[in-house]
């Protein structure tokens, strides 16, 4: 009859501990798509407040909405927003895209490959009643 080693009692010697892996090899942080979308929408709101100075129209602007596609550590963002009118649409659009891209990349650690804007409404800074065709 061969003897089998018996298990160490509960209070006995513990098994050797495995070596500690570097942080990069231990796991991954997963950020849900809806969280990235909320970050992008908030960044768009910040960008609009920073890059447009028509405060009368800001009260009427709807909050930006965002959609996101995440894969392989990269994010593609889609934003739907209102802009005040009159404003340099091309200039403000570029500034919003740049700001949102940098902000999302900074807060999530993801690479932002694309930021697409859909301008849903142009909101007059001053009421339309002052503007008449003569």
| pLDDT tens figures, 20-49 | 888 777 777 788 999 999 999 999 999 998
Per-residue pLDDT band for 74 (boundaries 50, 70, 90) equals: very high
pTM exceeds 0.85, yes or no? no
Is the dihedral angle over the CA atoms 79, 81, 84, 87 positive or is it negative? positive
């Amino acid at each position: 009859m061969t003897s089998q080693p018996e298990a160490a009692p509960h209070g006995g010697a513990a098994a050797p501990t495995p070596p500690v892996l570097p942080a990069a090899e231990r796991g991954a942080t997963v950020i849900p798509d809806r969280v990235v979308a909320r970050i992008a929408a908030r960044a768009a709101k910040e960008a609009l407040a920073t890059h447009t100075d028509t405060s009368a129209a800001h009260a009427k602007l709807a909050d930006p909405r965002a959609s996101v596609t995440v894969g392989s550590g990269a994010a593609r963002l889609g934003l739907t927003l209102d802009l005040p009118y009159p404003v340099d649409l091309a200039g403000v659009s570029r500034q919003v895209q740049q700001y949102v891209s940098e902000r999302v990349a900074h807060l999530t650690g993801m690479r932002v490959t694309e930021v697409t804007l859909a301008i849903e409404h142009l909101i007059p800074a001053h009421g339309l009643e002052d503007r008449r065709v003569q």
